[in-house]
Amino acid sequence: MPPAEPATDPGDLTSLTPASSRETKDGKSKGGSLFTVILAFAANLVIAVAKTIAAVLTGSASMLAEAAHSWADTGNEIFLLIAERRSGRTRDEQHPLGYGREAYVWSMFAAFGLFSAGAIVSISHGISELRNPEEGTDYLVAYIVLAVSFVLEGTSFTQALRQSRKDAKAFGRTTLGFVLNTSNPTLRAVFAEDSAALLGILIAGAGIVLHEVTGNAAYDAAGSIGVGLLLGVVAVVLIDRNRRFLVGEAVPADARARILAFILAQPEVARVTYLHLEFVGPSRLYLVAAIDIIGEASETTVAYRLREVERELEVEDVVEEAVLTLSTPEERSLTA
């Protein structure tokens, strides 16, 4: 993981959740992630149909691999749409910390789909083509479809890049660093899939060109295998990132510092001696802290003050639930 980069104002808790991707407490999205996924789905569906037709007409292994790639991406966008929908539901008695982790579960399904339907099909067909090469035809059709696909994929990628840049700027991070480490799995998946799609089109195009120029179908088969390997790498990265958030990804140091500073900024809080932060969904945290209340009030008064601070914290969209306890005198104070 890349080192933490400079953060925004440490006292600004809301800067943890960029406005473009923030969700309200009632689960309704206020950002662009849903639009990004819908645009990617529409683009991939059109591209998948076009590539399938081209693969049938040309008999190209690389084109068939690209068709499998696009159908895998199309199916994956459905999983991502489910992830956006289900993870935004309001918490209830059965799910006291909300449904945010649903996003990682359904994004994991999408990553597995990319691996199985995309990588495995492309690699196996490429190997089959190496063993039993077929002569390709209608190269012009393949070139036209790849060119149109590149434009459509580029449109989808531009939307994902635009949102990623906007969110990364709000965090004071590089775009790539933000995409790799964001708690928003749908944005990361669309960004990664569209990037792989653009690169895959170039690989497939190179294989088809070399096949036409040399008359050797091995280049076309190699293009299919290359696309499959690319998809396999992307799928493994996405699976690993979702796995980490499901089992408990550490909150970045700069985000932790901003949360701590926000707690210390509350007028009732003298110091903080313990702070536990855990992702329970995209840009949603479960917070547990031990604090020292200013003054020597009665037990009842202190209890009410603790609840007041908890409510202040939970007003922030990024905090799903806050649980506060009292510090003991000998415990060491934390500093932001």
Cβ(22)–Cβ(271) under 8 Å?
no
> The tokens 């601070």 sit on which residue?
309
From the number of C-beta atoms within 10 Å of its C-beta (0-12, 13-18, 19+), residue 96 rates as exposed
Q: Which two tokens stand for residue 63?
A: 């084109």
* pLDDT for position 136: 62
Q: Phi and psi for 122 in degrees, rounded to 5?
A: -65, -45
Tell me the angle at which helices 217-247 and 102-113 cross, rounded to the nearest 10 degrees.
160
Q: Which CATH number among 3.40.1050.10, 3.40.50.300, 1.10.510.10, 1.20.1510.10 corresponds to the domain 32-247?
A: 1.20.1510.10
The DSSP line for 204-239 is HHHHHHHHHHH--HHHHHHHHHHHHHHHHHHHHHHH
User: pLDDT tens-digit profile of 17-50?
Assistant: 444 444 444 444 445 677 878 888 888 888 889 9
The DSSP line for 143-168 is HHHHHHHHHHHHHHHHHHHHHHHHHH
First to last CA, the chain: 22
Domain ranges of the chain: 32-247, 253-326
Cβ(186)–Cβ(33) under 8 Å?
yes
User: pLDDT tens-digit profile of 258-280?
Assistant: 899 999 998 889 999 999 999 99
State the virtual CA torsion across 182, 21, 195, 128 in degrees, nearest 10: 80
As a CATH number, domain 253-326 is 3.30.70.1350
Domains 32-247 and 253-326 share a fold: no
Q: What's the DSSP call for residue 23?
A: B
From first to last of its 336 residues, what are the pLDDT tens digits of the chain?
A: 344 443 333 333 334 444 444 444 444 444 567 787 888 888 888 888 998 998 888 888 888 888 888 888 888 888 888 888 888 888 888 888 888 999 999 998 888 887 777 788 888 888 988 888 776 667 888 899 999 999 988 988 998 899 889 888 877 788 998 898 889 898 898 899 889 989 999 999 999 899 888 888 889 889 989 988 998 999 999 999 999 999 888 888 888 998 999 999 988 899 999 999 999 999 889 999 999 988 877 888 889 999 999 998 988 888 999 999 999 889 999 987
Cβ(206)–Cβ(223) under 8 Å?
yes
* pLDDT for position 124: 87
> The tokens 């068709």 sit on which residue?
67
Tell me the angle at which helices 253-264 and 299-315 cross, rounded to the nearest 10 degrees.
130
* pLDDT for position 27: 45
* pLDDT for position 5: 40
Cβ burial 231-259 (10 Å sphere, 16+ → b, else e): bbebbeebbebbeebeeebebbebbbbbb
Residue 333 CB neighbours (<10 A): 11
- Cα–Cα distance, 184 to 186 (Å, whole number): 6
* pLDDT for position 44: 83
Q: What's the DSSP call for residue 334?
A: P
* pLDDT for position 32: 62
Strand order in the sheet with 319-326: 269-281, 284-293, 319-326
- Cα–Cα distance, 87 to 263 (Å, whole number): 27
